[in-house]
Structure 1
């Protein structure tokens, strides 16, 4: 829990914005399932979910890198990526769920008088049906995908666009993410940044090296900061 004089407890947000994969929703089971379906079509056995979880925030690049040991420069990558995305689109909400404690955090946001929204590097053609399938589309005050702005995170474009949609200044918003690029983008936008230690975290070094204003160990802990 943050101390009473910590910057995050002195900041009263009017909106809390979340990264999607690995922060708001645990999508790794369905991303890993799609990657394993690609492996199956190539006659390879499935990998355990634990292998996919650390790279789940990196999208097709991360999942196929783990599943097939190929990079975007590989000649087969475009075809494998397209097939992976096709299979993932067909299995968006097979096992994906909100992270435990998000209901508590949503309640704390509402009680504080703030709104919440989503800013993700996922393309809108995946974001929109995923949110609808989880019944989050009508709850979120905004949802900004990477293909709706000129530059994806770690550039601040999508976060600034969310502010425009909400008619808020960046200084009135918190941004919560489980990847270093989320913190980089949030800082560049001028927001209070929160590193989600419950997420996938990737391979960008220790979470305390990302430069976040606050590291939250759980959604419930972050909810407590809103009540301080």
Structure 2
């Protein structure tokens, strides 16, 4: 894995983020929703940290976590739909940008770089969430917009098209192995967000990200070094 001192000379024109666990801390709303659903099923609440570490894996993983069911089990799909219905009503109550993200976005915009989002979160949830938090990225790519969701690199190829640059001119930031694989396969430099929703069994170094950060503001120095090489 490269360090900032080993950055290759290249022109960077944009920074694209994964959403849940990278740009936004959405876990508090998922904690509420999953435990609300468990309460309706007469089950005790789960520990918030346990839920938090599963958020990046999506609604299906949360149903499996909350109720011990596989997708093929009877009762799985009704629970998933109820979970999503609850989430629709509670998707921006406690969600907020991670510490340092506001400053990072300001820096990106001050440098006249574009920024965007490439997420596996469906558009029906992504759009109202961004609106509620008054975030206006230059592009937003959801599974609805591609034939192949992450880890396939299609999302980053579409981002490059929408942002009028080459994939290798985009830094892609994510908190999951599939994010880094998506960016790497598209030819993007990548940043692993170690502050995100990382499962205990995850080995971040095995993702082969170009960089790794423990706080969002650490990305400013990384971007500056890329810009210095432009």
Q: TM-score range by the shorter chain?
A: over 0.9
1:18–1:117 contact (8 Å) kept in structure 2: yes
2:3–2:210 contact (8 Å) kept in structure 1: no
**How many Å apart are 1:12 and its aligned residue?**
4.0
Runs of 5+ unmatched residues, structure 1: none
SS in 2 for 1:121: coil
1:105–1:220 contact (8 Å) kept in structure 2: yes
Query: 1:224: which partner in 2?
Result: 221
Tell me how far apart the structure 2 counterparts of residues 158 and 216 of structure 1 sit (CA, whole Å): 22
Query: 1:184: which partner in 2?
Result: 181
Tell me how far apart the structure 1 counterparts of residues 221 and 151 of structure 2 sit (CA, whole Å): 28
Q: TM-score, normalised by structure 1?
A: 0.93
Query: 1:162-220 CA deviation, whole Å, 9 max, x = no partner?
Result: 11111211011010000000001111111111100110123663111101011112111
Query: 1:27-80 CA deviation, whole Å, 9 max, x = no partner?
Result: 111112111111111111211211101111011122112111112121211111
Q: How does 1:1-228 map to 2 (within 5 A)?
A: 5-7=5-7, 10-136=9-135, 139-202=136-199, 205-228=202-225
Query: How many positions carry a matched residue from both structures?
Result: 224
Query: 1:16-35 CA deviation, whole Å, 9 max, x = no partner?
Result: 00000000000111112111
Tell me how far apart the structure 1 counterparts of residues 56 and 133 of structure 2 sit (CA, whole Å): 19
Tell me how far apart the structure 2 counterparts of residues 134 and 184 of structure 1 sit (CA, whole Å): 28
The 10-residue stretch of structure 1 (107-116 or 76-85) with the greater mean CA deviation from structure 2: 107-116
Tell me how far apart the structure 2 counterparts of residues 117 and 212 of structure 1 sit (CA, whole Å): 19
Runs of 5+ unmatched residues, structure 2: 226-230
Tell me how far apart the structure 1 counterparts of residues 10 and 64 of structure 2 sit (CA, whole Å): 39
Q: TM-score, normalised by structure 2?
A: 0.92
The 10-residue stretch of structure 1 (181-190 or 106-115) with the greater mean CA deviation from structure 2: 106-115
SS in 1 for 2:115: strand
Q: 1:194 to 1:20 in 2, by over 3 A?
A: same
**How many Å apart are 1:111 and its aligned residue?**
2.6
2:183–2:189 contact (8 Å) kept in structure 1: yes
Tell me how far apart the structure 2 counterparts of residues 224 and 95 of structure 1 sit (CA, whole Å): 29
